[in-house]
A and B are shown apart, each in its own frame.
Chain A
């Protein structure tokens, strides 16, 4: 479900939350932010998609961190258990907790943003703020092409199966299948891109100069104030963290 906020408002909110959480570096805050993002996602009707994407990223990362810092943290002093070279230390566990929750919060907040924002709105909003049209094009075009690719790959696979292609179980056989499927895919995409480039140039895409936009976005003074405030707050948080933690030469 697309959000009713101006896309820059949700972008600012997500970006600033992620940066402030990183700057604060407090795991209770990180957990709170992650929970809030998850609840908002459920409320916006994208809970399942956001959580699925987050789990795919965070579970391997979390386990990796737990294994890495939970068992091996040479800097740790408070040893809780030890098996040979592996030492479970309180410092290591707290490091893993801090790092894991911080990343978890940022991932959930940013996924909440990307799964609720309307990509065309976002591109239009960024273009209106002076983002080069090329960036908007690459962003929007990639987001349209990606879902279409599943269908295209399925069509290629079907066409090749109809020619009698049987993918075996061995590694070599599967590698060969990758090549057979990749060649028509790459060739088709590159050829399409060639024609599309001609079409875009004919439709004045490369022309320098001012542009206008058909799509109009709703913005409000309240949202503008909120964005300015969020950016200021974030800047303050970052500055504070940089000043307090600036490494002093020994």
Chain B
């Protein structure tokens, strides 16, 4: 059965036969008390796009992985229900006699691309071409055939020019396309894409969009998992709204979007008027700036502080060049720019993680040169993109309370920790392990750890990425509250619409310096 002859004879394509169908009565992980999924059904016809929408922790990823055989009944948890690929249906009753899915064969017909595209890669192949061929190698596909298929898939996914590159050195968009290519090289009838556009800039998103259109034209059924109702989701023919592990609405997008279930699910509705821009009055101008950057210049490979490896060729152009920025108390400044423009580099200068090579950074009029980051952090709270790097405690409450006692004294510390948790809506999760929170709440927790210290400057790196609508609302409130108490706020984002809706001033990072837009 595993002897390589598993390529199933394709059923004669009848118009009504879905490429994939799932009817999940219940699914729970081993070791979890509750059910992660209840009563979820999906049927995806060839060549159609189906969007499964839901907030953070709604069970989208679990559902997608079950459909594609990444999570398996018995192996990963207890499943009751049925899964079908084409005419082949498998029933599960949640006992030990259940059939066991062969993940290799199953994924040949149902592909899945995880949100973290890097996790799709084998980590043992040194070129894009070999990474693409990894699955074929394991199936014993003859080399000539393998080269042909790899080249064909590379062409479909726009990777032809990158075949000799090391996968570890691809950009975010290229990496995402490689992950998709690794799934589609087996020609699956259905492809599940988990948040395929997350943290891609406009150019990267457009290329991925083309790729999806090509797959649909070729007759692949595409299932999109997303917490944003973006342009890609809006092009779907059918929406399924997941909330708390179960379907609360489904149907054509226009219909679903009008319903209450859609707005309750915490889905971010792009293109709908969110906060109104410009309504926030700019703070009174005369106040002395809390943060000032004067003529800051910085380039990688020319500093003693950074450990980033230079490409080894010619010295790269400086990332920041003669950059000036003034933030006054209560002011919200947004910095935008495409991926790789140096936005994160700029942010790391605000608390001394990177030291400018020219110019200086002033906090409340005093230079921070030479002060360790851990001390600057009392004044500048910096929130990174990857929340799990920042979290290390056993419970949410301990996480927020960490280091507060030294800063504020016992009684105040406990109060402030709870206050910060309440501000981001995590008061009832105080005893949870941080890593068991859904990703949106992990980011909010990281935000709470910064808020609890009531910093004079709040610096946020791509704060909206990975947040669902509830998360974004909490973020908006927290940012507004911090501004109201007089903190200066710098947020860096590639999402221009969000920047305009939130900030008093929007600046573009371009050629190493900032300009108003």
Contacts and interface: CB of A to CB of B under 8 A. Distances in A.
What's the interface size class on B, roughly? 35 or more
Interface residues of A, number: 56
Interface in A193-207: 195-196, 198-207
Nearest to A190: B435
Given A161-B374, A199-B120, A180 B392 contact: yes
Nearest to B348: A158
Given A158-B348, A206-B104, A211 B353 contact: no
Contacts of B137: 211-214
Nearest to A198: B70
Given A184-B392, A188-B388, A215-B130, A205 B435 contact: no
A226 interface: no
Given A144-B123, A161-B351, A214-B146, 20 more contacts: A120-B126, A140-B123, A141-B122, A151-B308, A160-B390, A162-B377, A162-B390, A163-B403, A188-B389, A202-B70, A202-B103, A203-B104, A203-B107, A203-B122, A204-B104, A204-B139, A205-B122, A210-B140, A214-B130, A214-B136
A68 interface: no
B453 interface: yes
Given A150-B307, A156-B389, A161-B373, A200 B69 contact: no
Interface of A: 119-120, 123, 133, 136-137, 140-141, 144-145, 148, 150-151, 154-156, 158-167, 179-181, 183-184, 187-188, 191-192, 195-196, 198-216
B135 interface: yes
A204 B140 CA distance: 10
Contacts of B114: 195, 199
Interface of B: 2-4, 65, 68-71, 103-104, 106-107, 111-112, 114, 116, 119-126, 129-130, 133-143, 146-147, 150, 168, 182-183, 307-308, 348, 351, 353, 372-375, 377-378, 380-384, 386, 388-392, 402-403, 407, 435, 449-450, 453
A147 to B, nearest CB: 9
Most A C-beta atoms less than 10 A away, residue of B122, B129, B143, B147? B122
Nearest to B378: A164
B351 A162 contact: yes
Nearest to A138: B124
Given A164-B403, A210-B4, A211-B138, A123 B373 contact: no
B143 A214 contact: yes
Contact of A161 (B104, B136, B183, B377): B377
A207 B135 CA distance: 10
Nearest to A160: B390
A214 B147 contact: yes
Most A C-beta atoms less than 10 A away, residue of B65, B103, B107, B142? B103
Given A144-B168, A211-B137, A166 B372 contact: yes
23 contacts: A133-B138, A141-B123, A151-B308, A155-B386, A160-B390, A161-B374, A162-B381, A163-B402, A164-B377, A164-B453, A165-B377, A179-B392, A183-B392, A184-B390, A199-B70, A201-B104, A203-B135, A204-B139, A210-B4, A211-B137, A212-B137, A214-B129, A215-B130
A155 B390 CA distance: 9
A145 B392 CA distance: 22
